[in-house]
Amino acid sequence: MELRVLGASGGVTRAGATTAFLLDQRVLLDGGTGVGSLDLAEMERIDALLLTHAHLDHIAGAALMLASVIDRRTTPLTIYAPVEVLDTLKAHLFNWQIWPDFSVLPTEEQPVLRYRPILPAERFEIEDLSIEAVPLSHTVPSFAYLIEREGRGFCFCGDTGPTETLWQRINERGDIEQLFIELSYPAEEAEIAKVSGHYDLTGLAQDLKKLEQPLTVQLMHAKPGYEQRLIAAVRENPVLQTLKVQHCEIEQRIDVL
Ligand SMILES: [Zn+2]
Ligand SMILES: [Zn+2]
């Protein structure tokens, strides 16, 4: 199964769009500005948005996409996220002030958007994918998703700084082959990373030592301007040198399941 990188940056520039990954053409993992690279037909095929958290860089593209496809879709797009994330979307985004409430448009009976709250520790399904949410450590509720199909799994993380439960669950499960995780800042920017709830290189390297099995680490969410420094620093880091590490690139297609 193919995971297409639509956006993997921690900010917008001409060269970069924010977090949005498309799994098998139908499931969107976060809905950042990368969604804007899709054409209408591709947008119409997306049935599910699995959302890690409610920050703008992870939802802006999906919110705008709803307006683009509203008169073309016959079935709703479902946003899957824990209740606290959905509550934030309802109160602060789809509230008729910032953007329309698409859960009652074009009609209340057949809306273009619906919500599917995920309960704590619930294992849920989207088509043939079996998914588990794990809480992370960010400035707002943020989650990782462990996504499994036919015994193979990968983990897609929302924004986070140093965290605990994630590493326990990956080690307990043993089926996670790839980890998509943020590295926003180089080690020299540890203070900004800390106050903004993100990983800097030192923090991520320390946490990756908790992994008990080898897996491929796919890095994303570099803040604009730090990309080249991060690539060089990752290459020289003794912990990351022991792992297979890649940097997600826009329009890259990654085999995941
Ligand atoms: Zn972010
Ligand atoms: Zn965030």
Summarize pLDDT for 23-40 with one digit per residue, the tens: 999 999 999 999 999 999
Distance 142 CA to ligand 2 centre (A): 7
Distance 108 CA to ligand 1 centre (A): 32
Q: Provide the domain limits for residue 220.
A: 2-255
Distance 147 CA to ligand 2 centre (A): 20
Asked whether residue 222 carries a pLDDT value surpassing 90, the answer given is yes
**What ligand has the least distance to the C-alpha of 184?**
1
The 10 Å Cβ neighbour count of residue 40 is: 11
**Contact criterion met (CB below 8 Å) for 81 and 34:** no
pLDDT band for position 167 (cuts 50, 70, 90): very high
**What ligand has the least distance to the C-alpha of 31?**
1
pLDDT band for position 83 (cuts 50, 70, 90): very high
Structure confidence by residue, pLDDT tens digits, 96-125: 999 999 999 999 999 999 999 999 889 999
Distance 223 CA to ligand 2 centre (A): 12
What residues sit around ligand 1, an ion, with C-beta below 5 angstroms?
Answer: 57, 159
Structure confidence by residue, pLDDT tens digits, 54-67: 999 999 999 999 99
Structure tokens at 25: 């053409």
Whose tokens are 């639509």? That residue is 6
Give the mean pLDDT of 4-8: 98
**What ligand has the least distance to the C-alpha of 139?**
2
Distance 230 CA to ligand 2 centre (A): 19
Distance 9 CA to ligand 1 centre (A): 8
In the prediction, which pLDDT does 120 show?
A: 86
In the prediction, which pLDDT does 139 show?
A: 98
pLDDT band for position 236 (cuts 50, 70, 90): very high
Distance 230 CA to ligand 1 centre (A): 17
Percent of the chain with pLDDT over 70: 100
**Contact criterion met (CB below 8 Å) for 34 and 61:** yes
Interatomic CA distance for residues 94 and 99, integer angstroms = 5
In the prediction, which pLDDT does 121 show?
A: 83
The 10 Å Cβ neighbour count of residue 237 is: 18
Distance 47 CA to ligand 1 centre (A): 23
What residues sit around ligand 2, an ion, with C-beta below 5 angstroms?
Answer: 55, 159
In the prediction, which pLDDT does 166 show?
A: 98
Distance 189 CA to ligand 1 centre (A): 16
Q: In the chain, at which residue ranges do the beta strands (DSSP E only) sit?
A: 2-7, 20-23, 27-29, 48-50, 77-82, 113-118, 123-126, 129-135, 143-149, 152-157, 176-182, 216-220, 244-247, 253-255
Interatomic CA distance for residues 124 and 2, integer angstroms = 21
In the prediction, which pLDDT does 196 show?
A: 98
Distance 157 CA to ligand 2 centre (A): 11
Provide the CATH number for the domain around residue 39: 3.60.15.10
Distance 53 CA to ligand 2 centre (A): 7
Structurally, the chain folds into a number of domains equal to 1
- Closest to 53 in 3D by CA, of 104, 24, 18: 18
Interatomic CA distance for residues 170 and 177, integer angstroms = 10
Distance 195 CA to ligand 1 centre (A): 14
Distance 29 CA to ligand 2 centre (A): 14
Structure confidence by residue, pLDDT tens digits, 169-198: 999 999 999 999 999 999 999 999 999 999
